[in-house]
Structure 1
Amino acid sequence: MSQSGHKEPQQSLSYSMRDGVFASIQQGAGESYISPFAIFLNASNTQIGLLASLPLLFGACFQFVSVEVLNRLQKRKKVILLGAGLQALVWIPLFWLPFLFPSYAATLVILCATAYFLAGNFATPAWNSLMGDLVPPATRGSYFGLRSKYNSIASFAALCLGGVILHYTERTLHPWWGFFVLFSLVLIARLISVHYVSCMMEPEYRVDPNSNVRILDFFRQHRHSNFMVFVYYTAGMHFAIMIASPFFSAYMLRDLHFSYLQFMAASATTVLIQFLTMHYWGRFSDRFGNKRILAFTGFGLPFLPMLWLFSTDFTYIVSIQIIGGMIWAGFSLSMSNFIFDTVVPQQRAKAVAIYNTMNAFAVFLGASLGGWLGSFLSPTLNLGILQHTFISNLPLLFLVSGCLRLLWVLFFIPKLKEVREVESLSMQDLIFRVSQLRPISGVKFDVFTGYQHNGENGRRIVEAAPPGRAKETATQSVQK
């Protein structure tokens, strides 16, 4: 490859912008529809739980392998291209193996999804390292902020397109063709993403000896620290969340018989509201700290799954998604920012790996428990004089998840400490100010009048979420 102008750092950052857009198309139109694909293949509740947990668990653990390979090769682009290229190719067996071997369809989807996340997480540490060298610190906030904006738009558009394609093919009685078209487009998008990564320049890689801290030594140093309290809190929350989270898609598609268009609308609502409110939460975090956001959104999360018990109406569910989008935006942002606040830069990579791994184990245990409970729970809620039978037993999983979330918040939030000097704000004022947010109409928090945006916030929002990597979010298309 020539050493012409396209190898200059500025051109490489332009290539990274394009890489992020096409990788986000993979996330929106691909990852978001793996679970509906498994449901279409008649996956059981236990299999749906494993699909949501096993790939994330093995993917997070595989980052430690990636770091060792990177330190030996000292070639970041090779690691990134290998991981991203393999991730693209996984879409081929993910579709065709269930088609050719229908008796093992759901199991094959789980195995392919695990391979997909292994490949993506293999590329993650090298991508973080490469972009840290290419993006100048003075412009890091503005660059990643713009990149995140483009990625969000691409992911949202792909999510909507996927819903339209599946809805149309379902109506024509050819849903297999819908998934074929969708996964083929995703494969092409990821390969285009890989091409743009290959065009980027690669500065010399040097191993930082200060970052070579053994995991056990890190735990000994930090076992009573604010960071570990935070890790225990988020891991417990993810455990409780994942008891219910993998099963909202099944509840909508299988039990409520939503069309793919309705499923897409409900999913896209959450994504859109998160996109519209993340900027405001970022400003709020800079001024009043992350603990207050963790506390406020933490007390909101337990009630989101409980709201699903009261109605099966589509409009009602979309309204829950609007509320959930606002709460999830603040919770996910404050989690990312809190890591940067509580760990010194020399140990940040190790801390993030430990944080991801512990949360991945919690996700695995929570989703596995949810799948096990979903296999035998009765759909009837019996509280003595109060008795109600639901359309399925999944609403009872939502209730269990909400109760456990609440218990974890009550126990751990008082133990967390804000490590930055921030302005004081009571919980009553916090509730009032958040209530002023109207993302659809564009009205901002009134507290931000005259506030000057700090580019550092943009860095914190996006630096922990490289392109093509599944969010905890996540990567669930519907976060509850």
Structure 2
Amino acid sequence: MNSRSNVNQLNEKNSKLNGAATTIVLSMSNNYFALFAISVLGATNYQVGLISSLPQIVGMIAMVLGTILMGRLEEKKKFTSFSFLFTRIFLLGMFMVLYLPEDYRAWVFVILVGLMNLPGSFANLSWQSFIGDLVPDSRRSGFFSERNRVLTIAGMITTLLIGLALQMFHPSNPVPYQALFILAFMFGLIEVYFLNRHIEVKKQKAIEKKKLHFGWDAYKHKPFIYFLIAGLFFNFGWQMAWPLFNIYNINVAHATGFWISLFTVGNQIGQVMSFKWWGKMADKYSNAKMLAVCAVGMAVAPTMNILSTNLIYLTMVNVFSGVFVAGTILLLFNQLLEVTKEDNRSSCISQYNILLAIVGFVAPQVGVFLLEQTSMNIAMNTSSLLRLASGAVFLVFYVYVRKQKVLQRNGGQPV
């Protein structure tokens, strides 16, 4: 029988391989959704905005359903695997979009991107809860920094190869994108294979768990509520610029598929360089304190991006922003796990993701609305100001967390 240590090592290995496959899938598909929509399908700014926001509102509905399901599951691996598999099947539908009448292609593609997030949200929610149960608290910062570094390297290599391949085709040629969607589906099967290789200990649920469980108990835990406020505020400022970057890079800076790939690779280089450092700093200073630092760094990116249309300059901006994206990815998830308890982790994660989905729908639409009503400069700078303000909010959250820890050490009860 495997010892607990051997099981942990095996799960960590399979998690890295599963994550690498996931990253390759996303690098072959999601990274090029906006370029495919604009260059091949002729999508409007509004439709490009929906590519960022529609999946979020679909995800919100999925999170509500997922919260109920997760509260009733004794084993999460099987549910997580099927969710990932059904998500990847949508890539086959995207391959078929070009065989529809031209007037409907862009809208069908946007709808497919949105609906794909129904099983995708199930997959995300169940994976977070699943991996949170498998990885011991003492290993979180170290393991996730190592895992994220491996994933980013896999994505960087994949994106670079795709960028070089896209150079051989005209930007409006649909064939390379169709090939990417098929390859992404095949790697999705590998993704599911390694997910199924994780070893999960079946947990017996209490009888009352058989009742419908909406996750409202998460709001009885004050540390989670304070994190929720800080995290959602930051995500609003972060996500409102997502469609703006795509519109600016493609329509204003006239970046081709090759340069879009270089932007992504540059961002990933910044992440690879810094994942380990963020993990060490989180262990030394806490996730909450370093999130404030991350927010300030993220605030610079939108304003820096609109200073020039020089493609080499924009690549370097992506390298810079990648450093802080790495911190954001690592620290937000670690902090979420830190403010949850084992008995309410699924509830907290699901409630966070439900509200995050609402923010994810509204924020990109606000960004596009500001662009249409004012200018690219005003819209991007607004995102920078909101991100900067979120740094102050995270600092307040850090002070609260520190006070709670002092109270616990002194024998008091945290609130």
TM-score range, shorter chain: 0.7 to 0.9
Q: Which residue of 2 aligns with 1:428?
A: none
SS of structure 2 residue aligned to 1:351: helix
| Paired residues of 2:228 and 2:352 also in contact (CA < 8 A) | yes
- Residues 125-182 of structure 1: CA distance to partner in whole angstroms, max 9, x if unpaired? 4444555666677877766555444322222222222222222222xx7621110111
270-279 or 95-104, larger mean C-alpha shift: 95-104
Task: After TM superposition, give the deviation of residue 74 of structure 1 in Å.
Answer: 4.3
| Paired residues of 1:76 and 1:205 also in contact (CA < 8 A) | no
Q: Which residue of 2 aligns with 1:44?
A: 44
SS of structure 1 residue aligned to 2:202: coil
Q: Counterparts of 1:399 and 1:362 in 2: how far apart (Å)?
A: 19
Relative to structure 1, the CA distance from residue 419 to residue 195 in structure 2 (aligned partners, 3 Å threshold; closer, same or farther) is same
144-153 or 398-407, larger mean C-alpha shift: 144-153
Task: After TM superposition, give the deviation of residue 25 of structure 1 in Å.
Answer: 0.9
Q: Which residue of 1 aligns with 2:251?
A: 254
Q: How does 1:116-131 map to 2 (within 5 A)?
A: 116-128=116-128, 130-131=130-131
32-41 or 74-83, larger mean C-alpha shift: 74-83
Q: Does 1:358 align with 2:355?
A: yes
From 309, 321, 326, give the equivalent of 2:323. 326
Q: Counterparts of 2:259 and 2:275 in 1: how far apart (Å)?
A: 24
Q: Which residue of 2 aligns with 1:467?
A: none
Q: Which residue of 1 aligns with 2:300?
A: 303
Task: After TM superposition, give the deviation of residue 367 of structure 1 in Å.
Answer: 0.8
Q: Counterparts of 1:81 and 1:415 in 2: how far apart (Å)?
A: 35
Q: Which residue of 2 aligns with 1:345?
A: 342
SS of structure 2 residue aligned to 1:302: helix
Greater helix share, structure number: 2
Q: Counterparts of 1:68 and 1:372 in 2: how far apart (Å)?
A: 35
Task: After TM superposition, give the deviation of residue 271 of structure 1 in Å.
Answer: 1.4
SS of structure 2 residue aligned to 1:311: coil
From 375, 399, 403, give the equivalent of 1:417. 399
SS of structure 2 residue aligned to 1:168: coil
From 176, 179, 182, give the equivalent of 1:181. 179
Q: Counterparts of 1:140 and 1:237 in 2: how far apart (Å)?
A: 22
Q: Which residue of 2 aligns with 1:193?
A: 191
Paired AA for residue 192 in structure 1 = I
Q: Counterparts of 1:419 and 1:250 in 2: how far apart (Å)?
A: 39
Q: Counterparts of 2:12 and 2:326 in 1: how far apart (Å)?
A: 27
Gaps of 5+ in 1: 1-7, 378-392, 423-480
Relative to structure 1, the CA distance from residue 361 to residue 313 in structure 2 (aligned partners, 3 Å threshold; closer, same or farther) is same
SS of structure 1 residue aligned to 2:180: helix
Q: Which residue of 2 aligns with 1:397?
A: 379
Q: Counterparts of 1:254 and 1:161 in 2: how far apart (Å)?
A: 23
Q: Counterparts of 1:107 and 1:145 in 2: how far apart (Å)?
A: 38
- Residues 401-432 of structure 1: CA distance to partner in whole angstroms, max 9, x if unpaired? 2233334444664354253599xxxxxxxxxx
Task: After TM superposition, give the deviation of residue 233 of structure 1 in Å.
Answer: 2.2
- Residues 17-53 of structure 1: CA distance to partner in whole angstroms, max 9, x if unpaired? 4333222210222121112212222222221121101
Gaps of 5+ in 2: 1-5, 405-415
Q: Does 1:108 align with 2:105?
A: no
From 371, 375, 382, give the equivalent of 1:374. 371
Paired AA for residue 34 in structure 2 = S
Q: Counterparts of 1:240 and 1:252 in 2: how far apart (Å)?
A: 19
| Paired residues of 1:55 and 1:110 also in contact (CA < 8 A) | no
Q: Which residue of 2 aligns with 1:432?
A: none
Q: Which residue of 1 aligns with 2:165?
A: 165
- Residues 350-400 of structure 1: CA distance to partner in whole angstroms, max 9, x if unpaired? 1122222222211211111122233343xxxxxxxxxxxxxxx32332122
- Residues 51-84 of structure 1: CA distance to partner in whole angstroms, max 9, x if unpaired? 1012133225413423433555645344233212
> Percent of pairs identical after alignment?
24
Paired AA for residue 346 in structure 1 = D
Normalising by structure 1, report the TM-score. 0.73
Paired AA for residue 403 in structure 1 = L
| Paired residues of 1:301 and 1:405 also in contact (CA < 8 A) | yes
Q: Counterparts of 2:319 and 2:207 in 1: how far apart (Å)?
A: 46
Paired AA for residue 20 in structure 1 = G
Q: Counterparts of 1:230 and 1:137 in 2: how far apart (Å)?
A: 18
